[in-house]
Structure 1
Amino acid sequence: MAQEIILASGSPHRRALLRNVGLEFSVEKPDIDERAVEAALAGSGATPEDVAVVLAEAKAVAVSERHPDALVIGSDQTLSLGDEFLHKVADMEAARRQLLRLSGRMHQLSSAVVLAGQGEAIWRHTSVAHMTMRKLDPADIGRYLSDVGDAALGSVGCYQIEGRGIRLFEKIEGDFFTIVGLPLLPLLAALRDKGAIDG
């Protein structure tokens, strides 16, 4: 009997990515306070990649402790603008301000994925994308937010690269799966290596 696979995430985007590749899995959202985990790392010299992998591991291990015989996938993504971490916004006015801050600048997306079993992490991977947004004026941002509506609130950068969000950028360095928050190719390789999937 194949080992049960659980995705420790509430993200509809991650669920869709895994379903699209034919992976059989269940979903259990971890009960962790991500901001508290980040706060514990403040002043430690942790890089954006470090923070992403610590968050992903916390999610995977939390669910693995409840399902020790399953293989649990935890994933997280950080967005850093210089030395500052940005987070999801609560409303459209905050989205407008976030996009104004990102306008004309390069930000970094660090995406981590962790596999856990028996209540501990057994594999980790982090990848990085560098995203350079074109210079946007307030009218550009207003039109974009009007077009995408509340979808802007679903990601920390207020964009989905697979949709209209791509129009905000002048340069992208990094792969699609890193940008959407789940480094899929390394994850599939790890699942094959663990004997959890065929081919």
Structure 2
Amino acid sequence: MIVLASASATRRRILEDAGVDFEIDPADVDETAYKTPEARRDPAALGVTLAQAKALDVSRRRPEDWVIGSDQILAFDGGLVSKARSMEEARGRLEAMRGREHVLWSAVALARAGRIVWSDREPATMTMRHFSDAFLDAYLAAEGEGLLASVGCYRIEGRGAQLFARVEGAQATIMGMPLWPLLEALRTNGALPS
């Protein structure tokens, strides 16, 4: 059995759309414990560390299953960005990123029998356009507090697409999971037919 160690609706949809049969069993990992000042200096490695921790947490409970852990880190302006806690914070985040570039590092890990079998990470470089304050007001009103579930305060698969001038990276990576490397790892390890 393949298990997704996440309650993320987006990650669930990515796997469902790819035709992967799986169960959901969310990991119980304190992410803040991993986000030390030293770890924050390497967002790509931090994403892999968190994905591995999530996969291992569930794999220890389900040793016979193939467990997928995933995480996404947003690197911007020399630091890491966490999810906004309010609509005011979301507005400030989008204003700060307007006309600028940020990188989403999506990481994924596969565990079985309480050990990591494979892991990978992929970047997506996102360049926001110079949108107007009026556009931002309309966007925030239309999207509402659902934006707070995304670290970037946007859903690229929806209205959030209008925030960008240029995007470099796979859609699934932008949404939070490097899908094609994961599918290959699942096939290589016999969890999916080759």
Smaller-chain TM-score range?
over 0.9
Task: Find the counterpart in structure 2 of residue 127 from structure 1.
Answer: 122
Q: Contact 1:100/1:136 (CA < 8 Å) preserved in 2?
A: no
Aligned partner of 1:185 among 164, 180, 183: 180
Secondary structure of the 2:153 match is: coil
Task: Find the counterpart in structure 2 of residue 97 from structure 1.
Answer: 92
Please report how far the alpha carbon of residue 47 of structure 1 lies from its aligned counterpart in structure 2 after TM superposition: 1.3
Give CA-to-partner distance per residue, 1:101-158, whole Å, 9 cap, x none: 1111100000000000111111011000110001233322111101111221120101
Structure 1: gaps (5+ residues)? none
Task: Find the counterpart in structure 2 of residue 16 from structure 1.
Answer: 13
Secondary structure of the 1:77 match is: strand
Secondary structure of the 1:186 match is: helix
What is the alpha-carbon root mean square deviation over aligned residues?
A: 1.2
Aligned partner of 1:143 among 131, 138, 143: 138
User: Which TM-score applies when normalising by structure 1?
Assistant: 0.93
Q: Contact 2:127/2:166 (CA < 8 Å) preserved in 1?
A: yes
Please report how far the alpha carbon of residue 99 of structure 1 lies from its aligned counterpart in structure 2 after TM superposition: 0.5
Please report how far the alpha carbon of residue 5 of structure 1 lies from its aligned counterpart in structure 2 after TM superposition: 1.0
Measure the CA separation in 1 of the matches of 2:168 and 2:189. Answer: 30
Task: Find the counterpart in structure 1 of residue 53 from structure 2.
Answer: 58
Aligned residues: 194
Q: Percent identity?
A: 44
